[in-house]
Amino acid sequence: KAGVTQTPRYLIKTRGQQVTLSCSPISGHRSVSWYQQTPGQGLQFLFEYFSETQRNKGNFPGRFSGRQFSNSRSEMNVSTLELGDSALYLCASSLAMGWEDGYTFGSGTRLTVV
């Protein structure tokens, strides 16, 4: 079966712009989580969505937002981009929230802010 698909794979944006990243979970998975990965901070949790509702949120400013659609696909948006937002953004899906099988990750979107 198809894995978690993230688009685009690479993105270059200018400071002050906004960006939208997309994540299609594994078919049947209803929970989608987003993580930011940087060399300095490692993997940091952004938010988790289940049944189109944000169920859990990390400690990121309000410039970071997301949503989930009825088909479980999710998008995350970052407004007013800063240089420090350059990172690999990873999406992970699971059957349900807290599913003990863990999460299946996509290959990520590499965002570079210049």
Partner 1 sequence: AQSVTQLDSQVPVFEEAPVELRCNYSSSVSVYLFWYVQYPNQGLQLLLKYLSGSTLVKGINGFEAEFNKSQTSFHLRKPSVHISDTAEYFCAVRGSQGGSEKLVFGKGTKLTVNP
Supply 12's token pair: 């270059």
Q: By C-alpha distance, which of 114, 98, 106, 107 is closest to 30?
A: 98
Minimum CB distance to partner 1 smaller for 18 or for 54: 54
23 touches partner 1 (CB under 8 A): no
Long-range Cβ pairs for the range 44-53 (8 Å, 24+): 46/76, 46/89, 47/76, 48/97, 49/74, 50/96, 50/97
* 13-21, 62-70, 79-87, 91-99 -> range binding partner 1 (CB under 8 A): 91-99
2 touches partner 1 (CB under 8 A): no
Binding site for partner 1 (CB under 8 A): 4, 6, 33, 35, 42-43, 45, 48, 50, 55-56, 58, 90, 92, 96-98, 100-108
